[in-house]
Structure 1
Amino acid sequence: MNMNVKELTLDLLVRYGFQVLGALAILAVGFIAAKWLGGLVDRRFQKQQMEPPMRHLFVRVIKLLIVVMAGVVALDKFGFSIAPLVAGIGVAGLGVGFAMQGVLGNLMAGLTIIFTKPFRVGEYIEINEEKGDVSMITLSSTILVHPDHSRVIIPNRKIVGEILHNFGTMRQLHLAVHVPHHADLNQALEACRQIVDANIRVLKDPTPSLGIGAVEAGGIKLTVEPWVRVVDVVPAEAEIYQGLVEAFRARRIGVPVTAHEVRMLEAAAAR
């Protein structure tokens, strides 16, 4: 009995051992080739300055095709018929497609975003009451980053078909300061212009907008609206306000004092 088992094991090893080793070798070569060729294509696309989402998509497709081809060749080494396997995969794919409609919807929406490019990585967008810097675009979702470094992950199917506000890679700050009615407006506006021009975060093009925003009862409102890169919005706003305060103090330009009118009413006569 033991001899029969040993002979059967030896016969199986002799008959199928080389096929198994050959199939494993083919799979190993396929994975190595997929990794090598994917890296080569990725570097080539980086030199051509292809956008990351499209570059990652092409690299993943190339890797997947190589691995699938290696798997088909490995199955052929075992003597499997490919046609029934493909048919079975097709039937199973229909069932999986119905079960994963949401996931597939995100994938199709991701492909639409990648190829139509309504926005790109590094741009500031607003959609569905969510806003932030686009840090990553994948096949399934788009990731926005807020100034506090928190992230908002939006499924791509929630983006396609919606109204999208793309601010681009720069934004206009809307700053305001108030001066008294008797202040020298030319001096105040010149101080604002010098502070804006001296800030390295402010872009030269488009030209910053400065002027009188409103004449109010308590004073005159001056608007300062320079353009900065999206990543410089928060620090630029703080730096410009600090510069304006210091410049106004140096030029003895005061700020309006809020006046409150207080009326004293005599107590009603006793009934």
Structure 2
Amino acid sequence: MEQNLENELEQAAAIYQMIIEFFVNYSFQILGAIIILLIGLYVAKKVSNLVEKLCTKKELDITLSKFLAATVKILIIAMTAIIALGKMGISVTPFLAAVGAVSLGAGLAVQGLLSNYGAGFNIILTRPFVVGDTISVQGVTGQVKDVHLAYTVLSNEDDIEITIPNKHIVGEILHNSFENTLAELSIGIAYSEDPEKSIGLIRNTLSSNEKLCQDKQPQVGIESFGDSSINLGIRVWLPTNQYYQQLYMVNQSIYKVLKDNNVDIPFPQREITILNNKQQ
């Protein structure tokens, strides 16, 4: 019993002696490494903020600005960590080799994720769209809310968020209508009415709507000739974030201006002839 206690005391004393010798021999290296790491973190934060402010001043896209700032921060922290490890006498060459081998294996395992990151990097550099644009891709339409390296988030008027992996955006046919969405409408007037008058009334009421896109004027004209009506086609650009709200208001204003000016809007009619064949 006493022998075991003496052995444990000797082991504890040896461990204590090793710790004391380690801190005596490497205390300055450890302290220097910690100071270097703290300075590196501080510099990384300051330089990252400076890069983001510079990009904002140059009116770069907000997504690209944040990406560049984050990349600079990561690079500075990585360089600082390598210097700190070197200060402690730890060689980083085997560590880098191990990281490379692990990265290769992980890359093969997560090819889908890496393809999303590669596509996201492509989007950030080429900027086929930016936050606030309205895009249609893979049968989905929405306003770009945020762009990440792995995925892009769209939203619609109902505040529904749509997350699309970036690999399904790059290389696909992409429609970008910026902040607006095209609405294509149609309304019929009777053949007895003057089409030019009706077209002028519709143009005037649409031009007075300040909510519509002012850069692109509405297009109004004869679209087709139906059985019971002359069909007028209307193409108007509406703000994406208020698309349905403005669409209903446009339809109401068109109906009201035609009704107030006594323009006949006919309903479908069919002429039926009954043949009476009596047996003589």
> What TM-score bracket applies, with the shorter chain setting the length?
0.7 to 0.9
CA distance in 1, matches of 2:176, 2:18: 70
Q: Say yes or no: does 1:155 pair with 2:152.
A: no
TM-score, normalised relative to structure 1? 0.86
Counterparts in 2 of 1:6 and 1:126: CA distance versus 1, 3 Å: closer
TM-score, normalised relative to structure 2? 0.83
- Report the alpha carbon displacement of residue 202 of structure 1 after superposing the two structures with TM: 2.4
Whether contact under 8 Å (2:156, 2:240) holds in the other structure is no
- Report the alpha carbon displacement of residue 34 of structure 1 after superposing the two structures with TM: 1.3
Moved more, 40-49 or 236-245: 236-245
Counterparts in 2 of 1:84 and 1:221: CA distance versus 1, 3 Å: same
Counterparts in 2 of 1:118 and 1:86: CA distance versus 1, 3 Å: same
**Corresponding position of 1:130:** 140
Q: Say yes or no: does 1:171 pair with 2:203.
A: no
Same amino acid, percent of matched pairs: 29
- Report the alpha carbon displacement of residue 80 of structure 1 after superposing the two structures with TM: 0.3
CA distance in 1, matches of 2:15, 2:103: 41
**Corresponding position of 1:86:** 96
Q: How does 1:104-119 map to 2 (within 5 A)?
A: 104-119=114-129
Q: Say yes or no: does 1:222 pair with 2:232.
A: yes
Counterparts in 2 of 1:224 and 1:13: CA distance versus 1, 3 Å: same
What does the per-residue CA deviation read over 1:14-70, in whole Å, with 9 as the maximum and x for residues that have no partner? 333343333233222222221121111101100101112322221121001111011
CA distance in 2, matches of 1:107, 1:26: 31
Residue type of the partner of 2:127?
Answer: K
Counterparts in 2 of 1:226 and 1:49: CA distance versus 1, 3 Å: same
**Corresponding position of 1:21:** 31
Moved more, 58-67 or 90-99: 90-99
SS of aligned partner of 1:42:
helix
Give unmatched runs, 5+ long, in structure 1. 266-271
Whether contact under 8 Å (1:209, 1:225) holds in the other structure is yes
Give unmatched runs, 5+ long, in structure 2. 1-9, 276-280
Moved more, 180-189 or 212-221: 180-189
SS of aligned partner of 1:19:
helix
SS of aligned partner of 1:73:
helix
- Report the alpha carbon displacement of residue 227 of structure 1 after superposing the two structures with TM: 2.7
Aligned length: 266
SS of aligned partner of 1:200:
coil
Residue type of the partner of 1:202?
Answer: L
Whether contact under 8 Å (2:183, 2:237) holds in the other structure is yes
Q: Say yes or no: does 1:195 pair with 2:205.
A: yes
- Report the alpha carbon displacement of residue 197 of structure 1 after superposing the two structures with TM: 0.7
